[in-house]
A = this chain, B = another copy of it.
Amino acid sequence: MINPETTFLFIIEVIGTVAFAISGIRLAAAKSFDWFGAYVVGLVTAIGGGTLRDILLDIPVFWMQTWWYLAVTGLSLALVILFQKILVHTRVLFIFDTIGLALFVVIGIQKSLNVGYPMWVAVTMGIITGAFGGMLRDILLNNEPLLFKKDIYATACFIGGIIYWIALGAGLAMPWPGILCAATVIITRILAVQLGLSLPVLSEAFTDSENTPHPSDHIKS
């Protein structure tokens, strides 16, 4: 904890966790959830991705090793209850959320490499760590996952992961792949939002297919 680099990463991770938790709590509030429900949605948003990652990697689940993830989510709930009017109208949250996202991707990649998985698994785990919590949040709230429609959120994680891969392949020493990856995630996401970029949508040819959802529907047609 006295190590300045560790302390810096710790502070960034707290900020990212708070930003993710607040995003979940605010959406829960919009659906009139009670305090407990809002806490759960915030917690799931903040730790859901890392939890799936740790289960898939078969390593101890990170938030069960220290109580501060639960505590920081409680702090986030208190912040929303006390300052909700202010928080709703600020773009600071977007910056926090993006910084947290970038760090979550790097953590997911590094944990996977530590356990001995190849780089393509690590990139997948980076994306899961960054993006799965928000997907769970939308499932809990009974929304269609925003992730899939509005944002190049997960795509930013993917591009960041590729940069990590290239940097590692190019022989860069250890903090650098992570730093370049995080910077790529942040720049990609900010650029995408500023420029209104999004991925192509698959809809056009399927406007009449909502009624024909599964192969089994076609065998008789």
User: What residues make up the interface of A, taking CB atoms closer than 8 Å to B?
Assistant: 19, 23, 25-38, 40-41, 51, 55-56, 58, 60-61, 64, 67, 70, 80-81, 84-85, 88-91, 93-94, 96-97, 117-118, 120-121, 124, 135, 139-155, 158, 189-190, 193-194, 198-203, 205-206, 209-210, 212-216, 218-221
Contacts and interface: CB of A to CB of B under 8 A. Distances in A.
Contact of A33 (B25, B64, B148, B212): B148
A72 to B, nearest CB: 14
Nearest to A118: B67
Nearest to A139: B139
Contacts of A154: 36, 40
A202 B33 contact: yes
Contact of A144 (B31, B64, B214): B31
Interface of A is mostly: helix
A88 B202 contact: no
Contacts of A146: 213-214
Nearest first, the 3 A-B pairs at minimum CB distance are A37-B148, A94-B215, A29-B202
A129 to B, nearest CB: 14
A35 B206 contact: no
Contacts of A37: 145, 147-149, 199
